[in-house]
Amino acid sequence: MKRDPQRPQECPGRPQGQPEPPSPPSSSSPEPPLWIFGYGSLVWRPGFEFTSRKVGFIRGYSRRFWQGDTFHRGSEKAACTWGVAYEVCGEQIAASLQYLNMREAVLGGYDTKLVKFHPQDKDAEEPIQALVYIATPQNPSYLGPASEEDIAAQIMASSGCAGHNIEYLLRLADFMRYFCPQAEDKHLFSIEEALISILPCTCHTEETLEETSGVPQKTKS
């Protein structure tokens, strides 16, 4: 079972008071665009068509590798979680929600929540409302807290149909390092350090990240 980032203390099954995902657009009038925020594998492998994307963060959450996953490969506090928000428009909305419902909700056990996304762009004026998929302690795959060393050991031994859990961790760490250098994610980088210390050989470069089409690329001079 692999480890995924999650957020505790939310009930699964979208309990009373938790927002429903936006409905697909109607044929009578165009729907406004929908923004979808990703903080895990969605930052480099969204898997759906989108119109635009922005790097940024949401407040009140910390990324934690406390969620297990037998198929694919944070706690709420005064903190923020960095990732990528994708803008989907028109027919992209229904298609992306259908895809993500299977990937994140059905297979991953994640719930949906509407959050305020703060773009990294300096000229951004107001936060953007975005949909996010979040795991909970009530999820059958919830593993709970563990030491960075124990998490790293479990990551090294885990793989599934979407790839090896090592790739998940290293690509996420690369994203934070190269696109959010001002942000701190002590939990993530401590697990990365623990993993590298027990790997016999690690090929971990910026070039491997930039070969991935799902992540916004930096402009090279």
Alpha-carbon distance 188 to 172, whole Å? 8
List, in sequence order, every beta strand (DSSP E) within 40-100.
Answer: 52-61, 64-69, 76-88
Candidate list 10, 104, 148, 167, residue with the active-site label: 104
Residue type, 80: C
Task: Let me know: does 22 contact 34? Beta carbons within 8 Å.
Answer: yes
- How far apart are the C-alpha atoms of 173 and 44, rounded to whole Å? 11
Active site (annotated) includes residue 104 = yes
Residue 110 tokens, joined: 């994640």
Instruction: Point out the residues that are catalytic.
Output: 104
